[in-house]
A and B are shown apart, each in its own frame.
Chain A
Amino acid sequence: MTNQSVLPESPPSVTTDVVAWVKKNLFDGWFNSLLTVGIGFALIKFLLSFGEWVTTKARWDVIPANLPLFMVGRFPASQYWRAWLIAALLVSVGGLTWGMLTLSKEVEGNHQIGFSRNTLIGIGILAFAIVLLPLPTPNKAMILGILSLALGGCFLGRLGVRKIPIIGGVVAGAWVVSLILVLWLLAGGFGLETVGTDLWNGLLLTIFMALISIGLSFPLGMIFALGRQSSLPIVKFFSVTYIEFFRGLPLVGILFAAQVMLPLILPGDWRIDRVVRAIAGLTIFTSAYLAEAIRGGLQSIPKGQIEAASALGLNTPLSLYLIVMPQALRAVIPAMMNLFLSLFKDTSLLAVVGLVELTGISRNILANPNFLGRFAEVYLFVATIYLICCSAMSQASKQLEANLGVGKR
């Protein structure tokens, strides 16, 4: 009888040769090869013609000429330093969050505080691109300064994860304080020159409304999700009605109603700011969708978890807070991120109801006789800005999932 080895052997080697990869994935069989050639041809043709348009036929001067308008609209030029401060503040807290999320606590040896090689390369490219931008030098310096704030914040965040046990609470607190400071810097008063809310325009308004709406709709959505599950009949009825009603109306309709109908309903001298009305409309709409997403998460929790929590003597609020909600929310992070990204881009609908945020200011810029017909350039630029912001949010949610061990535990 042959005496075969019981020692584990190494698997047959897999070539990581580029040519082999291309052969396997792109030219595997005649049909696939045909597809590759056809699609490749169309892609290259499109990219070449698009690239030609971008570099020669497009007239990009509309962008640098109106950059301040895109970013902050009619915010008084003497107070621009406040806008820069807002950017610096938000980027710093964002950096802190980034640092906190990317340093996983559970991997004992992986307390790498510095940046990975890939991140450093990416940052290098970004800094290089900023230097190349057609902007006045002090602005470029400011942007590079803000970029370094992001990195510093990230470094601090990672340091915090190591040293401070409740770093999550600290970062959440930092967000709250920052948003209050941002509000003060935007509105003025208490020592700063007041800036009316109709002068809040452009990207500044978009980011402000999106942040506040996201921050408010999340707890509201949780409340209605739990209310729908409640055994108290009035709470349940109210929650179901709220959810079904606001899910059944188009967002534009709700925003119109908020802007136009609210002054009609309220007593004469109650004047609610237009931005507040807009935020209210966005928050109510998103919270109804969020409630359903979270309900999906709640339903995915095995009954045994709740039984174990009850058997341990945890009452309903405690078992919700310690056991059910952490697991439910982890399960639906992709769904919730979907809603937040939608919310961010739906701020563009406010241009229809007369609020001048990023999309609204683009329309104003296009109405300028100097820049007649520059639709493609302007909207491509605006699209790129939306894409960058949404990608950042998407990346943050991926890091959050990795940090929470979603799918692993």
Chain B
Amino acid sequence: MTQGLNETNGKANNYADLQTKKEVIVATDVQKWYDNKFHVLRGVSMTVYEGEVVVIMGPSGSGKSTFIRTFNALEAYQKGSINIDGIELSHDLKNIEAIRREVGMVFQQFNLFPHLTILENVTLSPIWVRRYPKKKAEEIAMQLLERVGIAEQARKYPGQLSGGQQQRVAIARALAMQPKVMLFDEPTSALDPEMVREVLDTMKTLAQEGMTMVVVTHEVGFAREVADRIVLMDEGLLIEEADPVEFFNNPKEERTRKFLSQIL
């Protein structure tokens, strides 16, 4: 593999380089059953290193959303192990709460709190979880809102904003916790095409600033430009893992080729 920086996304494109970095998420043979019947995750193992952007793609029903939702205990798993930033994800509530402070999540349906203003949405977690005083929390919040480009909407309510603006607020809200890793569950799937661009740009900037990100998405352009590694999941299994160039141009597995032929 060529050493040095990747021309497209400016990051190290040597997998070996990355492996000397810290492991943020270590998932080993994660298995999950729905209702004791449906085997939705059939033994998925994945490691995410600090500063990496991992894009998970796959057909619907492949378990990719379920998989990333196990990282912050929104979904439980029955077998295997998950380790986030050194903390073992178990049934222990203390561990779960500690992990949730380090993992930020952005949802497909934004899930902003409609009864609070934008500013209150973003300051909620710093005030109540990190226990910052209100002034400090509001400073952090305004900085983040400026970073995502909606500082002037701070006093409005979510219902008064467009979808793209709401999703950017959701990103700011997740960042307010100063997490170690950000999870994105199909962040642009519920947006109009004109607004997809603004959200993807925000995510790209975030990646360039060095945030560790795991993104479930169908946006091929984003994956090509920003991802360090693309993972294909199908029927609860991890099919292929490769960097964008290899993944799109030279896939090894048959299922990958089939998937690519459908989306490209």
User: Within 8 Å of chain A (Cβ to Cβ): is B114?
Assistant: yes
Q: How far is the CA of A304 from the CA of B111 in the complex (A)?
A: 6
Q: How far is the CA of A322 from the CA of B72 in the complex (A)?
A: 20
- Taking residues whose C-beta sits less than 8 angstroms from the other chain, chain A's interface range is 20 to 34
Nearest residue, chain B, Cβ from A312: B125
CB distance from A310 to the nearest CB of B (A): 6
CB distance from B31 to the nearest CB of A (A): 22
Q: Which of these, A106, A307, A409, contacts B74 with CB under 8 Å?
A: A307
User: Within 8 Å of chain A (Cβ to Cβ): is B15?
Assistant: no
Is the CB–CB distance between A313 and B101 below 8 Å? yes
- Which chain A positions have C-beta within 8 A of B158? 409
- Which chain B positions have C-beta within 8 A of A312? 100, 124-125, 129, 173-174, 177
CB distance from B259 to the nearest CB of A (A): 28
Is the CB–CB distance between A405 and B157 below 8 Å? yes
Query: What number of A-B contacts does a CB cutoff of 8 Å give?
Result: 68
Is the CB–CB distance between A304 and B129 below 8 Å? no
0/1 string, B108-128, CB within 8 A of A gives 1: 010111110000000011001
- Which chain B positions have C-beta within 8 A of A310? 72-74, 100
User: Within 8 Å of chain B (Cβ to Cβ): is A36?
Assistant: no
- Which chain A positions have C-beta within 8 A of B112? 308
- Which chain B positions have C-beta within 8 A of A302? 109, 111
User: Within 8 Å of chain B (Cβ to Cβ): is A326?
Assistant: yes
Nearest residue, chain B, Cβ from A321: B128
Q: How far is the CA of A323 from the CA of B111 in the complex (A)?
A: 11
Most buried by B among A327, A405, A409: A409
Is the CB–CB distance between A409 and B125 below 8 Å? no
- Which chain A positions have C-beta within 8 A of B157? 106, 405, 409
Q: How far is the CA of A307 from the CA of B158 in the complex (A)?
A: 17
0/1 string, A267-285, CB within 8 A of B gives 1: 0000000000000000000
Q: How far is the CA of A409 from the CA of B73 in the complex (A)?
A: 30
CB distance from A64 to the nearest CB of B (A): 49
* Residues from 312 to 362 in A contacting B, C-beta threshold 8 Å: 312-315, 318, 322-323, 326-327, 330
Q: What number of B residues sit within 8 Å (CB to CB) of A?
A: 28
- Which chain B positions have C-beta within 8 A of A405? 115, 157
User: Within 8 Å of chain B (Cβ to Cβ): is A305?
Assistant: yes
User: Within 8 Å of chain B (Cβ to Cβ): is A408?
Assistant: yes
Q: How far is the CA of A323 from the CA of B124 in the complex (A)?
A: 10
Nearest residue, chain A, Cβ from B104: A311
* Residues from 67 to 87 in B contacting A, C-beta threshold 8 Å: 72-74
- Which chain B positions have C-beta within 8 A of A305? 111, 113
Q: How far is the CA of A9 from the CA of B166 in the complex (A)?
A: 32
User: Within 8 Å of chain A (Cβ to Cβ): is B53?
Assistant: no
Instruction: Using A304-B107, A311-B174 as known contacts, say yes or no to A326 and B100 having CB atoms under 8 A apart.
Output: no
Q: How far is the CA of A404 from the CA of B124 in the complex (A)?
A: 19
Nearest residue, chain B, Cβ from A327: B115
Instruction: Using A313-B125, A318-B128, A409-B158 as known contacts, say yes or no to A308 and B113 having CB atoms under 8 A apart.
Output: yes
User: Within 8 Å of chain A (Cβ to Cβ): is B146?
Assistant: no
Q: How far is the CA of A27 from the CA of B203 in the complex (A)?
A: 62
User: Within 8 Å of chain A (Cβ to Cβ): is B56?
Assistant: no
Is the CB–CB distance between B129 and A313 below 8 Å? yes
0/1 string, B134-174, CB within 8 A of A gives 1: 00000000000000000000000111100000000000011
Q: How far is the CA of A312 from the CA of B124 in the complex (A)?
A: 9
Is the CB–CB distance between B103 and A409 below 8 Å? no
CB distance from B72 to the nearest CB of A (A): 6
- Which chain A positions have C-beta within 8 A of B97? 313, 315
- Which chain B positions have C-beta within 8 A of A330? 115
Q: How far is the CA of A312 from the CA of B100 in the complex (A)?
A: 7
Is the CB–CB distance between B111 and A307 below 8 Å? yes
Most buried by B among A307, A311, A314, A322: A311
Q: How far is the CA of A327 from the CA of B112 in the complex (A)?
A: 12
User: Within 8 Å of chain A (Cβ to Cβ): is B105?
Assistant: yes
Q: Which 3 pairs, one residue from A and one from B, show the smallest C-beta to C-beta distance? A: A308-B111, A311-B105, A304-B111
**Which A residues contact B (CB, under 8 angstroms)?**
106, 302, 304-305, 307-315, 318, 322-323, 326-327, 330, 404-405, 408-409
Given A322-B128, A323-B113, A409-B160, 9 new contacts (CB under 8 A): A304-B111, A310-B72, A310-B100, A312-B174, A313-B97, A313-B129, A327-B114, A405-B157, A409-B115
